[in-house]
Amino acid sequence: MINVAIDGPAGAGKSSIARFVAGKLGYIYVDTGALYRTVALKVANCGLTAEQKEDIEALLGTTTVGIEFVNGEQRMMLDGADVTDSIRTPEVSMMASAVSAIPAVRAYLLNTQRRLAAENNVIMDGRDIGTVVLPDAQIKIFLTASPEDRATRRFDELKAKGMDVNYDDVLADIKTRDYNDSHRAVAPLKPAPDSVFADTTGNEFEQSVALIESIINDRLEEVK
């Protein structure tokens, strides 16, 4: 199986680029942030805060996080219910960043990610895919952009969904998540030593797609 790992900070455009390129290659696109978001939603629904680590660990024992692909689209299931749309709020984003620092949460989600990559050609995006989840991925990309660019992208996405958001709040959230995601003890966001660095600051979507496609195609030639 061919495994492509794309890591990088929030809002760099990983998911839209990866989804598009995976579609062209006929690979499955796996958004691993959605797994953490689903756990975060459960934690919030149960009235817990991310500080209640032991309670969260216990909660995992009675929680089922499922990932399904419907016409190639990833759907997230929480205890049998489809929560794909409800995990996209700013509150769930922050909670996901917080609960993802808990080692038990990361361990709980590891097998699901590895199994998908073992059984399918995948483009998998996240924070630790090239470093921890799929250290043997044939292709690793670290995709980033300036915080302001990333905040603009997130702001436009949330606005398009009809959410009442303010740019400065989105930028502050991005910076907080960058800090949390890069400074946690377990599996922090960092480029794998064998990853290719891709900076999409100022790019149009098509330019970023072309950049990622060329990195993948060059590498596919080498591993053939």
CB closer to ligand DC out of 186 and 220 = 186
Residue corresponding to tokens 């072309």: 210
Measured from the CB of residue 59, what is the shortest distance to ligand DC in angstroms? 17
From 44-52, 74-82, 96-104, 192-200, give the range in contact with ligand DC by CB under 6 A.
96-104
Measured from the CB of residue 10, what is the shortest distance to ligand DC in angstroms? 4
From 19-27, 78-86, 123-131, 202-210, give the range in contact with ligand DC by CB under 6 A.
123-131
Applying CB under 6 A, among 3, 5, 123, 127 the residue interacting with ligand DC is: 127
Within the chain, how many helices (H) and strands (E) appear? 8, 8
Q: What is the DSSP letter of 157?
A: H
Measured from the CB of residue 72, what is the shortest distance to ligand DC in angstroms? 19
First to last CA, the chain: 12
Q: What is the DSSP letter of 85?
A: T
From 68-76, 127-135, 168-176, 201-209, give the range in contact with ligand DC by CB under 6 A.
127-135
For residue 100, state whether it binds ligand DC (rule: CB under 6 A).
Answer: yes
CB closer to ligand DC out of 38 and 59 = 38
**Per-residue tokens: 116:** 């998908």
Applying CB under 6 A, among 6, 17, 41, 126 the residue interacting with ligand DC is: 126
b/e per residue 42-58 (b: at least 16 CB within 10 A): bbbeeebebeebeebee
Cβ atoms of 200 and 208 within 8 Å: the answer is yes
**Per-residue tokens: 137:** 């991925």
From 93-101, 114-122, 143-151, 198-206, give the range in contact with ligand DC by CB under 6 A.
93-101
Site for ligand DC in 170-189 (CB under 6 A): 177, 181
Please tell me the distance from the alpha carbon of residue 205 to that of residue 141, in angstroms, as a whole number.
17
Applying CB under 6 A, among 10, 18, 43, 60 the residue interacting with ligand DC is: 10
Site for ligand DC in 14-73 (CB under 6 A): 32-33, 36-37
* Closest listed residue to residue 90, CA positions, set 184, 164, 8: 164
- The count of residues interacting with ligand DC (CB under 6 A) is 15
**Distances in Å between the alpha carbon of 128 and those of 58, 96, 100, 177?**
24, 14, 11, 15
Binding positions for ligand DC, rule: CB under 6 A? 10, 32-33, 36-37, 93, 96-97, 100, 126-129, 177, 181
